[in-house]
Amino acid sequence: TASPVVLGVESSCDETGFGIVSDGVLLGQGLASSAAQHADFGGVVPEIAARAHLEAVVPTLRIALDDAGVELSDISHVAVTSGPGLATAVHVGLAAAKSIAWSLGAPLYGVHHLAGHAAADTLEHGPLPERSIVLIVSGGHTSILAIGDLVRDPIEHLGDTLDDAAGEAFDKVARLLGLGYPGGPAISRAAVDGDPTAYSFPRAMLRPKDAPYTFSFSGLKTAVARTVETLERAGEPVPVADIAASFEQAVVDVLVTKSLRAVRERALDTLVIVGGVAANARLRAVAQEKCEAAGITLRIPPPRLCTDNGAMIAAVGDLLVRSGAEPSGLRIAADPSAVL
Ligand code: KG4
Ligand code: ZN
């Protein structure tokens, strides 16, 4: 029988993504973003995101089909993000995916957005090892997971964040430094010229008595805010580059320390880092250096597959199809607060 040709649809936040995957290979993708429309608000406005998805679905699907060199009729299966995400945004992708699946008579699979982030790496580096530690760092999540077969085995949650997600911390600190949304890339750009040791911002949850895999970033954000306030009150200039670099270094230190700890304590040999924050150059460099020193294999997808996209959803769909999983069917509902 012919290989499945799986269309993935992603619309959980401000990215409209379509990707086409066959036998673990990314054939092509299309991506549209409404990020610029949210810039003035310092974060994603759900109604604006939903409207932008509605405008983008057809042209972005067209781009993905052209990029892959396939016709819509070549699609054999459809996978779509059913959650977690902004309900109004998820609904648009679900409606589009249902329409496509129904008109093609193709089976439809609901995909967890975070499983998508993890699967993104397989498009670059091939199947995941039998077991690995996965650090998911995005705008909504910061989790350390122990993962086996992505679609068959239960996922083990080692730890999450108590408050802000890492990406959320980047976005909030960018806002208070006047750098705009999305904050991650903005902080990263500002930090290039900064001294990461200029300010010693707190590294939370790293004491021996703290939960080993639990994160907290709200204290860090508050520490940056206090630093900026103090400088402004004293009428001194705010060294944005130094603050951005020092903040970024604090986040990276905690993420890398805890992830490597999980790999070591589970006696595994592979760390996978995924999600929007995995696009961060300092995180990639520090993780690479620390993993090399510890003899740990580090897998991070290229930046364009770290941030939200449709290819990662197609990658999960492709794994589901090939594992013989039951389709979700056309009645699938959005699950905005889905847990993995
Ligand atoms: O995975 P993602 O695209 O969407 C969610 O599922 O949340 O992640 C978006 C988050 C945002 O908070 C954004 O600021 C952050 O990822 N981000 C970055 C970088 N690029 C995106 N954070 C740090 N450095 C980056 N280069
Ligand atoms: Zn995401």
Provide the pLDDT confidence category of residue 144 given band limits of 50, 70 and 90: very high
Atom of ligand 1 nearest to the CA of 168: 12
Q: Which residues contact 41 (CB under 8 A, 6 or more apart)?
A: 181
Task: Tell me: is residue 144 an annotated ligand-binding position.
Answer: no
- Supply the residue whose CA is at minimum distance from atom 2 of ligand 1: 276
Task: Tell me: is residue 140 an annotated ligand-binding position.
Answer: yes
Helix (H) or strand (E) run with residue 33 in it: strand 25-33
25-36 confidence digits (pLDDT tens): 999 999 999 999
Query: Look-up: residue for tokens 């974060």?
Result: 43
Which residues form ligand 1's pocket by a CB distance below 6 Å? Answer: 13, 138-140, 167-168, 170-171, 182-185, 188, 275-277, 279-280, 307-308
CA nearest neighbour of 161 among 242, 27, 254, 47: 254
Please determine, for the modelled complex, whether the ipTM score is greater than 0.95.
yes
Q: What's the 313 CA to ligand 2 centre distance in angstroms?
A: 10
Task: Tell me: is residue 113 an annotated ligand-binding position.
Answer: yes
Structural domains of the chain ordered from first start: 6-117+306-322 (3.30.420.40), 128-302 (3.30.420.40)
Structure confidence at residue 40 (pLDDT): 85
221-235 confidence digits (pLDDT tens): 999 999 999 999 999
